[in-house]
Amino acid sequence: MKFGVFSVSMPEYGIEETAKVLKELGYDGVEFRVSTPAPKEKPEDYCFERRYWSFNQSTLDIGNIGEESKKAKRICDNYGLEIYSLTTYLKPHEADRIENVLKASSSIGCKNIRVFPPNYDETENYRTIFSRTIEELKIIEKLAAQYNVRVNIEIHMNTIIPSASAAYRLVSGFNPQNIGIIFDPGNMVHEGFENYKLGLELLGEYLAYVHVKNAAWVKKETTKNGSDIYQPVSVPLTKGFANLEKLMAVLHELGYDGYISVEDFSNEEDTLTKLRNNLAYLKKLI
């Protein structure tokens, strides 16, 4: 197995700092966040817990992704670090913007990009969203084949693929060399938990790589009817409901040799300490 970090979880570091720190700590690669760049000044609503999304310095500008990716590639090559994904928040209907990222990814020899699955918020029938997404992915699959870069969709709560089974149903009609799935047990604490081995066996050749983070359910409130309401919160890798020890054992059993990509949104330790401790913990598990 190889170990990397999704740069969304390194919000304080610029692109070169990200590569330098990850190499010094012993990681093999990086999954770069591709989005609108952080503002020059901290936003008024900035807070420590939201820093990953509101003021993230380790982000490649999607509006200039061709040049940004080449710059990142030069930096990472200098540190001997692989860029294994350009990870966007684009949705399947945004084919033109997805093609720009595919072109950039191909130009630097990066074999993966992420496209985010459509949301499911109960306002539109699931079957309608699903059928529309299939048609959109047919276009994306052709683009992925053209640029020889796989488009991966992440298992994620509050979307149409919160579980491995739902994800497999979405992509099973496509070529796994062109369309893949990012397995995320931390997201499946929120919604969509299934036996890890079942899910990984089902995904098979569609498995692109694995995100690791963790979450736990905590009591939020008690309703006027006396019902206790719980919600998931981000916690360190060692403290949540996702059984990462079991996950790593299953991956080893199945002969997985791809990336374990750390995406840790917990806030109990500073970023550098988390990065160091997470790698030591994951290596201990294998």
**pLDDT 10s digits, 130-145:** 999 999 999 999 999 9
pLDDT for res 35: 97
Over residues 32-41, the mean pLDDT reads 92
The amino acid present at 266, given as its one-letter code, is: S
What pLDDT does 11 receive?
Answer: 96
Please report, rounded to a whole number, the percentage of residues in the chain having pLDDT higher than 90.
Answer: 94
pLDDT above 90 for 259: yes
- Band of residue 46 on the pLDDT scale cut at 50, 70, 90: confident
Residue 151 to residue 133: CA distance in whole angstroms: 14
Structure tokens at 233: 């919160």
Residue 39 reports pLDDT greater than 90: no
- The answer to which of 33-42, 130-139, 146-155, 187-196 has the lowest mean pLDDT is 33-42
**Average pLDDT estimate for 97-125:** 98
Cα–Cα distance, 67 to 63 (Å, whole number): 10
Domains of the chain: 2-285 (3.20.20.150)
Token pair in block for residue 84: 């294994």
Rounded mean pLDDT of the chain? 97
CA torsion sign for 71, 72, 77, 83 is negative
Q: Taking a C-beta distance cutoff of 8 angstroms, is the pair 38, 15 a contact?
A: no
Look up residue 6 and give its two tokens. 């999704």
Q: Are 268 and 236 in contact (CB under 8 A)?
A: yes
Q: Which of 269, 219, 159, 24 is nearest to 16 (CA)?
A: 24
Q: Which range among 36-40, 55-59, 93-97, 227-231 shows the weakest confidence by mean pLDDT?
A: 36-40
